[in-house]
Amino acid sequence: MNWHSQRLTVSRANLKLILVIALFWCAALFTISDNFNKMLTDLEVEWSITSSMLKNISCEALFNGDEAAATDAKRLTFNDSVMVDAILNSSDRSGYVGNLRCRTIQRLFGFFPTLSDEERDFPFAYAMLVNKDVAQVLMLLSAIFQPQNQFCIAVDGKSDKKFWHVISELATCYPNIQVFKEVQEISQASNTYGEKNNVNTKWGQCRY
């Protein structure tokens, strides 16, 4: 092999190395950009919810003992419509929805993983009849949720569409949550069994 051939071989090797490094950096930059975009989206959701709930109340004024701010804070009433809208309107800057609703639910309410081997070996099954108060339902779920547990949720047929959409989204986000697709009307302080014989679950037939 002459000097010219050796130089050509080295040049090709260098070119391949440069291409590999360039592809690596492109992938790294794409990942960083994607993660940064997700972080911004999460922060925007949290800020939107916080600012909507607090309205014009200054947290700094409250910590400084401002009596007027404290009086205004006492008049605050909880309205879960802000959380409902944040979940249903979840999308990134390009308008992509995908699993962003699931990320918003997880971010706001924190559905935790299994904590111990004992809990993993002894799962529970829960049946819930719900008709309103999205935040209350999700807070309850987040308190008892673990991936080994199973959840059957029946939604009242009289519930509004936004409530239904958020609750049905849970079945998309978490494989151990099943939501009744054929909803029935639920009466307070009564027994409602729903279409239990038509519900396919991973743990077999429901028992009451």
User: What is the tens place of the pLDDT at every residue in 140-195?
Assistant: 998 888 888 899 998 888 888 888 888 988 988 898 999 986 555 555 555 555 44
More reliable by pLDDT, 123 or 113: 123
**pLDDT of amino acid 77:** 66
pLDDT at residue 26 tops 70: no
3 and 9 Cβ atoms separated by less than 8 Å: no
Q: What is the pLDDT of residue 177?
A: 92
Q: Which of 51-60, 101-110, 113-122, 137-146 has the highest mean pLDDT?
A: 137-146
Look at residue 65 in the predicted model and tell me its pLDDT. Answer: 84
**Between residues 58 and 147, the one the model is more confident about:** 147
One-character DSSP codes across 24-64: HHHHHHHHHHHHHHHHHHHHHHHHHHHHHHHTT--HHHHHT
Residue 16 has a CB neighbour count (10 Å cut-off) of 10
pLDDT at 31: 47
The pLDDT, as a whole number, for residue 49 is 57
